[in-house]
Amino acid sequence: MNASLEVLQEHLGHRFTDTGLLERALSHRSLGVRNNERLEFLGDALINFVAADALYAARPTAEEGALSRLRASLVREAALARIARDLDLGAVIRLGESELKSGGFRRDSILADAVEAILGAVYLDGGFAAARAVALRLLQPLIAELPDAEQLKDAKTRLQEWLQARSRPLPRYEVLAEEGPPHARRFHVCCVLPDTAEQTRAEGPSRRSAEQQAAEAMLQRLEAGVADA
């Protein structure tokens, strides 16, 4: 086994008995049929459980919805890709020629999948206790940085709850325009409050993104108005 994989095992805190499992976990599907997708399936289930278990203990007063948002934040693609970069997985992931040329070793989706596959490999190599220990070791820095669960709600949800708490009607979102080529569309959206006709506008690469930004702008305006009153 090369030096990079030795270092990786040190960072994971697990030394493989079957090093073939680790090599399989680092093999992207672009390499052929002996890839990491089945291990990824195992690792995905495992990291979701470990994250839920850790949050249940760390946030004893949090309700189910809050715990779900916190877990989603921990196991989302960007968070797992961050773990992968901390482990320098891009240097050891095995890719097919097409993915190598396109810079697949930098892609969040590939990096995140590799983290899940490694956890699946640890489980098969050392059992649940070993896999749980590795998962906790990787997740702990992210758990320590988690904000309050309320901050993880998206802008549309927070705006809706703000209005409902004051018995006001829900906002309406309207697409004002779409522009640009198919691969680079821009959506112009407005958020309208039916009871006052107040509106905010935003744009983004998708309708959802634009709506979220318009909702955030509206929420900031409403909260500023309350603070000034």
C-alpha angle with apex 147: 55 to 107, nearest 5 degrees? 85
Rounded CA gap, 72 and 142, in Å? 12
186 alpha-carbon distance from chain centroid: 24
C-alpha angle with apex 106: 105 to 108, nearest 5 degrees? 105
Reduce the DSSP state of residue 174 to 3 states and report it. Answer: strand
Instruction: Verify whether residue 161 is a known catalytic residue.
Output: no
Rounded CA gap, 192 and 199, in Å? 4
Rounded CA gap, 93 and 79, in Å? 18
Tokens of 213: 């930004």
Instruction: Verify whether residue 154 is a known catalytic residue.
Output: no
What separation, in Å, do the N-terminal and C-terminal C-alpha atoms of the chain show? 67
223 alpha-carbon distance from chain centroid: 28
Residues 6+ apart with CB under 8 A from 29: 35, 36, 37
Choose the catalytic residue: 10, 23, 44, 195.
44
The verdict on whether residue 113 carries a ligand-binding annotation is yes
Rounded CA gap, 197 and 142, in Å? 41
Choose the catalytic residue: 116, 125, 211, 216.
116
Rounded CA gap, 110 and 105, in Å? 7
User: Binding site for Mg(2+): residue ranges?
Assistant: 40, 113, 116
User: Binding site: residue ranges?
Assistant: 40, 113, 116
User: Which residues are marked as active site?
Assistant: 44, 116
